[in-house]
Amino acid sequence: MSEESPRNYLAAVESRLTADGCAPQWQDWSGTRVLTGRRADFRFRWMATNLHLFTIAAAVPEITTPVIDAFTTQALKYAKKNKGGLPVGMQTGVAVFPVLVSERVDPAAVAWAEDKQRNQFACFARPVVVDTARHYVGLFRGKPALGWIYSSHLIEKSARYFNHPA
């Protein structure tokens, strides 16, 4: 794989986010170029709540468990701050896909991402680790105890946005 692979993968994610109405844009996060996209969906079957879904993605030199953990924390803070509308928990929730892409990925980081959804009050993250060298996307695809009501929606969106890298 060439050094272009993570950039190409992020360009494909940007295209998928655009097609899904997420209005993606590029931002500078302390010298790192970060793709952000968001959408809000309302469903009566979600107990009449509005779910703000953020996708926050970046290419990095190497992905380790501490790197994806820190990025997940930063992405959750960003989403809470930028969701707008009613306060989190008041008929509104926040879900985040913190996505890191690299050709150098520690298998422990993939295992960490696939293990579980990270939950906070009315706000949760499903970290995504993309290994372009191995053509592998690791993320939690299950139904957790907290936030289970949104699981099928998040599984569908993750399949749409993060299929295996080319």
pLDDT digits (tens, 9 = 90+) for 12-42: 999 999 999 999 999 999 999 999 999 877 5
Whether residue 117 is predicted with pLDDT greater than 80 in this model: the reply is yes
What pLDDT, on a 0 to 100 scale, did the predictor assign at position 2?
Answer: 45
| More confidently predicted of 41 and 4 | 41
Tell me the mean pLDDT in the region 98-122: 92
When the pLDDT of each residue in the chain is averaged and rounded to a whole number, the result is 86
Backbone angles phi, psi at 145, to 5 degrees: -65, -45
pTM (2 d.p.): 0.88
Do the beta carbons of residue 115 and residue 140 sit within 8 Å? yes
Kindly write down the DSSP assignment for every residue of the chain, as one continuous string: --THHHHHHHHHHHHHHHHTT---EEEEETTEEEEEEEEEEEEGGGTSEEEEEEEEEEE-S-B-HHHHHHHHHHHHHHHHHH--SSPTTSSEEEEEEEEEEES-B-HHHHHHHHH--EEETTEEE--EEEETTTTEEEE--S--STTGGGHHHHHHHHHHH-PPP-
pLDDT digits (tens, 9 = 90+) for 39-80: 877 554 555 566 889 999 999 999 999 999 999 999 999 998
What pLDDT, on a 0 to 100 scale, did the predictor assign at position 130?
Answer: 96
